[in-house]
Amino acid sequence: MISLMRYQLLNYARSYQYVPPFSIFVLCLIVNYTFTPNPILDSFSLTSIMLFFLMGWFTITLFHTEDEGQKTITCFHTNGSGRYHISLFTIGILIALSLSLVSIIYPTIIQAFAKTPSFAQLLLGFLAHFCLAILGMALSALFTRELVNSKQNTWWGVLSILLLTLVLATLKNSILQIKGLIWLLPPLHLSLEIMNSGDQLKTIPSHFYGRFLWIVVYASFIIYLFFLLSRLKRK
């Protein structure tokens, strides 16, 4: 598995397909923190939504780095496409982890906030970025070529589902009218609610952890769905 991950990571690095989303990520961070001081949690909330969208781009380019022919060969050597995709998801998680850390470390280092963020605020910031990045990756994976044949549908699909997730988060109150539906929809709104708590927050309430956990559980379910659908499609 380590050899497979090393190969896929090197292949992705040499493809330079990560350059556009990474450049936009860096640009957004710089622009967002150009004027100081900034509110802490609100800024983290904004950059976490940005990361949620950019992870869609990273995911598609990562999953499509190899062409179809090479993918068949790599899967053959890997002894099945299951381990092949687990490795890709692991690399996606590592990208999400790295960018989440950069998103909270960079503004702290350049002192972009009015006061130094507390550990609780940094932890909340990290969790918001990481959980939304994982959610963005999981939702985008459903539109990779493993499940969607047309390249056009891939990009439209990813953009649509990520935008829809954000729109639904803002329409949460209307959706609540339909009992149970809120649990089926991507839980982006949970992170937005937490990050709307204000900078006066001293400690993290325990139910916040439960909400972040639910985002990760939801993303895990989507990833499971990816494997299930890809197995069905192969048959």
Partner 1 sequence: MLAGLSDPDDGMIIPSTQSLKIGYVPEITPAHILFTPTEYLYHMGRIRGMAKQELIARINELLKLFYLEDAQDTRITYFSKGMKQKIMIMQAMLEETDLLILDEPLSGLDLQTQNDLEETLRSLKQQGLTIVLTCHETKLLDHLVDTILMIRDKNVIHADLFIHSTALYNKLIFEIADPTYLDDILHLMKIQQQSSFATGSYEVTIRCQAQHTDVLLQQLLHKEASIKQLMPIHNKEKFIHND
The residues that touch partner 1, with contacts defined as CB under 8 A, are 3-4, 6-7, 10-11, 14-15, 66-70, 72-78, 234-235
Contact yes or no for 97/11 (Cβ under 8 A): no
Q: Which is nearer to partner 1, 38 or 74 (CB)?
A: 74
- Torsion, Cα 71 73 77 78, to 10 degrees, reads 10
CA atoms within 13 A on the CB side of 234: 10
d(CA 30, CA 43): 12
Q: How far is the CB of 76 from partner 1 (least distance, A)?
A: 5
Q: How far is the CB of 124 from partner 1 (least distance, A)?
A: 39
Q: Which is nearer to partner 1, 67 or 152 (CB)?
A: 67
Q: Which is nearer to partner 1, 115 or 233 (CB)?
A: 233
Q: Which is nearer to partner 1, 64 or 211 (CB)?
A: 64
Q: How far is the CB of 85 from partner 1 (least distance, A)?
A: 14
**In the block, residue with structure tokens 């099945």:** 80
Q: Which is nearer to partner 1, 77 or 115 (CB)?
A: 77
Q: How far is the CB of 142 from partner 1 (least distance, A)?
A: 22
Q: Which is nearer to partner 1, 80 or 180 (CB)?
A: 80
Q: How far is the CB of 30 from partner 1 (least distance, A)?
A: 30
Q: How far is the CB of 58 from partner 1 (least distance, A)?
A: 18
Q: How far is the CB of 71 from partner 1 (least distance, A)?
A: 9
Q: Which is nearer to partner 1, 4 or 190 (CB)?
A: 4
d(CA 166, CA 175): 13
Contact yes or no for 103/151 (Cβ under 8 A): no
